[in-house]
Structures are given as C-alpha cells and as structure tokens.
C-alpha cells in the first residue's frame, strides 16, 4: 500500500461528495471517484477499504464539519432558549457556507436503509452531551415531550428546507430570514 496523504484523501472525499449529490449513494462507485480525480481505483482502496468505508467516510467528514461549526456556541450555562437559538443560528450559517455538507447529511438521513450504517449519537461526544441536555430539559418540563431524537430530526429538516429553498432559488427565498426559521424552531421546541 502507498503511503497515505491527507490532500489525496480530501480529493477523494470531495469527488465522492459531488458524485453522491449528482447520482445518489447507489449511483456512486470507487471507479467513478477514481475517474473524477484522474486516479487509479486501487489508489482509492489505500484510503478506503471498500465502497462502504468510503461512503461512511464522506458522511463522517461532513458531520464533523457541522459539529465543529456548532461546538463553540454549545455552552450549557446559557438559558435553554438562548442555547437553542445560538445553535440554530450556527446551523443556518453553516448551511449558507457549506450547502454540500447539508445535502450529504440529509441524503443519508433520508434513506431508511442506510441509517443502520451511520454512526449513532453515542459515537460522538458533543451529540451525546446535547441529547443528555434535551432529556434533562424534557424532565424539567421546559421542552416538548416528543422523543428527543424526533425533535433533533425536525430541527435539522427545517435547516435543510432553508438551505434547499436558497439553493433552488425558490420565489419565497428572499423573504425567508434566519430569524423566521429560528422562531419556527423555537415554537415547536419549547413548551
């Protein structure tokens, strides 16, 4: 096996990202990725042992980017309302700056048959802490009693809708402000 190189690894992830957005997970292959970066398929296998590993590598890359974007505002000494508003603000800014990451994460979440291959909340420290906090807020009667995972999915879906409306240049997109989206999310999150 050739020695690994971070910039090649990144090239592979970028090419796979484009392919998944264009052709979906099923329509993406290591052959197509190799073709797009003018490399050999065998070279890809020195970074990712299989298509499955490549696909989950792409998901993890974009999920980490998103988590890194919201981590700095995750401060549990804030009021629950301020904390949720700050987290959603960062998510919307992230969606503006990294629409491909939002599309990748939502493409994976949208396919029930892929979900079992994805990392779970327990695999990530920040997500674990966030879910603990949601559960505590629910016990305290501050937020909606719907399962915490469903509330998190709902928040993420609204962010995806915001991102898609901007990307698709929907006629209502110019009237849609971040403040409106935050308000809508706050309305269903808090009791």
Rounded distance between C-alpha atoms, residue 103 and residue 11, angstroms: 18
Match 């990202």 to its residue by tokens.
17
Residue 27: CB minimum distance to a second copy, A = 4
Question: Which of 10, 27, 40, 119 lies at the binding interface for a second copy (CB under 8 A)?
Answer: 27
Residue 178: CB minimum distance to a second copy, A = 11
Residue 139: CB minimum distance to a second copy, A = 15
Told to check if 176 binds a second copy by CB under 8 A, we report: yes
Residue 190 DSSP SS3: strand
Task: Report the residue number, 41 or 183, with the smaller CB distance to a second copy.
Answer: 183
Residue 164: CB minimum distance to a second copy, A = 5
Question: Which of 106, 124, 142, 178 lies at the binding interface for a second copy (CB under 8 A)?
Answer: 106
Decide if 43 contacts 2 (C-beta within 8 A). yes
Task: Report the residue number, 27 or 50, with the smaller CB distance to a second copy.
Answer: 27
Decide if 151 contacts 94 (C-beta within 8 A). no
- Residue 20 makes CB contacts below 8 A (sequence gap 6+) with 28, 55, 58, 104, 107
Rounded distance between C-alpha atoms, residue 147 and residue 138, angstroms: 9
What does residue 143 show for φ and ψ, rounded to 5 degrees? -120, 160
Told to check if 119 binds a second copy by CB under 8 A, we report: no
Question: Which of 67, 73, 142, 184 lies at the binding interface for a second copy (CB under 8 A)?
Answer: 184
């Amino acid at each position: 096996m050739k020695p690994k190189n971070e910039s090649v690894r990144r090239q592979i992830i970028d090419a796979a990202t484009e392919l998944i957005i264009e052709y979906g997970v099923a329509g993406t292959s290591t052959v197509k990725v190799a073709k797009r970066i003018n490399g050999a398929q065998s070279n890809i296998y020195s970074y990712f042992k299989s298509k499955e590993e490549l696909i989950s590598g792409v998901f993890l890359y974009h999920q980490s980017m998103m988590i890194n974007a919201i981590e700095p505002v995750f401060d549990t000494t804030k009021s629950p309302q301020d904390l949720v508003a700050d987290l959603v603000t960062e998510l919307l800014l992230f969606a503006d700056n990294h629409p491909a990451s939002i599309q990748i994460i939502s493409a994976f979440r949208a396919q029930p048959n892929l979900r079992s291959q994805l990392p779970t909340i327990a695999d990530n420290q920040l997500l674990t802490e966030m879910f603990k906090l949601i559960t505590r807020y629910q016990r305290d009667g501050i937020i909606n009693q719907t399962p915490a995972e469903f509330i998190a999915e709902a928040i993420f879906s609204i962010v995806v809708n915001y991102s898609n409306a901007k990307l698709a240049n929907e006629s209502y997109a110019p009237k849609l402000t971040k403040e409106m989206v935050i308000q809508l999310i706050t309305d269903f999150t808090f009791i």
